[in-house]
Structure formats: structure tokens, C-alpha cells
Amino acid sequence: MSSADPVPEVHPAPAPAPSGGATSIAAVGGSLLSDEGSVPRTDDALVKQTLHRYLQKTRAALLGKLDGLAERQARWPVTPTGTNVAGLVKHVAGVQAGYFGEVFGRPLPDAPAWLDSDGDEDMYVTADETLDDVVAFHHRSAAHADATIEALDLDARGVVSWWPEGHRDVTLHRVLVHMAYETARHAGHADIVREMLDGLAGDGDGNLAERSPEQWVEWREHLVELAEQSGLRGLGA
């Protein structure tokens, strides 16, 4: 996509399918949250459930941005730094494998060679890989992460060998917070990249304003007008 390309017509993502009837590759997660707050006292089990649910929700939102994309679209670098939807999914899957694997002495079995690479192979899909390969690896990484979360207590100790000395000792609690943040950040990147590719916006959970395609055009034109007006300030216009 170049600066000369037309602005895609906005079309909202479909609502998540009911439990058991998922049609998306975005695995289970959706909008489900924990029961924390519904009982007078919060214990460690509920805290872990809450953190895990948020991780699952953001993980599903990120993976769902691949729904309906062809290989070329999924790989297409939209930003000057090469950000692409497939690369974001691959990157998060790799990071997740490390934080819930090596950190707690539970390395992902048969991990791909690129996980130990110092290059940027986790940020794009190579010529030897397919989109299906990336999705399959994401699912495998997620299942391994979920098993670690289920098996360990929040205060379980781990070591992040790639962090600076003096900061490498962590708990499962800290890693859960870190990965929920990391995944949400990249899910946000994927939101924008996907919208720029074909206009698909939101994740179907009701957070996107309800506007028709024509109303979205009018809304954007209104924002363009405001931006143009602000640029005239101080010029005597």
C-alpha cells in the first residue's frame, strides 16, 4: 500500500461466534473475562484467572486479524518499518514460547530454529513458510503457554536470561502481566495494519462505533478538515 492508494471502505469485524461454534481461527478467548470482583474476596486463583483471560482475549484478537486475508495481504508490509499482520502473529507466538517456556524451565518441544536467531526472522513469514505454518505455530505456542500457566502458582520463580542482570528473576505473575501487555500492544498494531489493508476494523465485541460505510467516509473527512484547519493557525487564515 502506498500513499496514493485509496482509503479502504470500513467494514466491522463480525461478532465472535458462540462458544462451541467458532468460525474464526482466533481460538477460544473472545470477550470472556474472569469472575474476579463477583465475590467479596479475591484469592490468587482468581487473580491468575483474570490475567490469563486477558491474555487469551488479546491473543484471540491478534490472531483474528488474519481471518480472511490471502497470503500476500497477510505478509504485506504496511509501515516504513515493515509491520505486517502475519509477522506480528509470528512474533507474539515466538515471544510467548520463550516467556512461558525457557523462563520456567519448560522449553517448547521441537522449537523452530528461528526462535534462537538474533535476526528479525520472527517479524515476517519467510519464503519457506506459509500462513498455515504461522497459525499452527501460534496455536502450539499458546497451548504450551496455557499448560505452564495452569501448572504453576503465581509466585513460581523463573529467569529471563535475555533481560539485564539484576532484573532477570521473575514470577509467573509478572510474566503474565508482561505477556498480556505485549500481546495487547501488537494486537493494536494489527488492528491498524488490517484496517489499512482492506478496511476491516474492530474485533466484533462492540467497541467500534456503529457507522455505515458512508458515515465512516464522512467521519474521516471531518477529521481531515479539522487537521487542515489546525495547520492554518498562525498563518493569518
| CA dist., res. 221 & res. 217, Å (int) | 6
Query: In this structure, are residues 117 and 71 in contact, taking their beta carbons and an 8 Å threshold?
Result: no
**2 pLDDT exceeds 50?**
no
Query: How far is Cα 206 from Cα 54, in angstroms, rounded to an integer?
Result: 17
Per-residue confidence band for 117, with pLDDT thresholds at 50, 70 and 90: confident
Whether the predicted pLDDT of 40 surpasses 80: no
Please give the pLDDT value at position 34.
67
Q: What pTM did the predictor assign?
A: 0.89
Give the residue-averaged pLDDT of 97-109: 97
When pLDDT is cut at 50, 70 and 90, the band that residue 27 belongs to is: very low
How far apart are the two ends of the chain, measured CA to CA in Å?
A: 34
Grid cell 471531518 in the structure block, residue: 222
d(CA 159, CA 112): 21
* 14 pLDDT tier (thresholds 50, 70, 90): confident
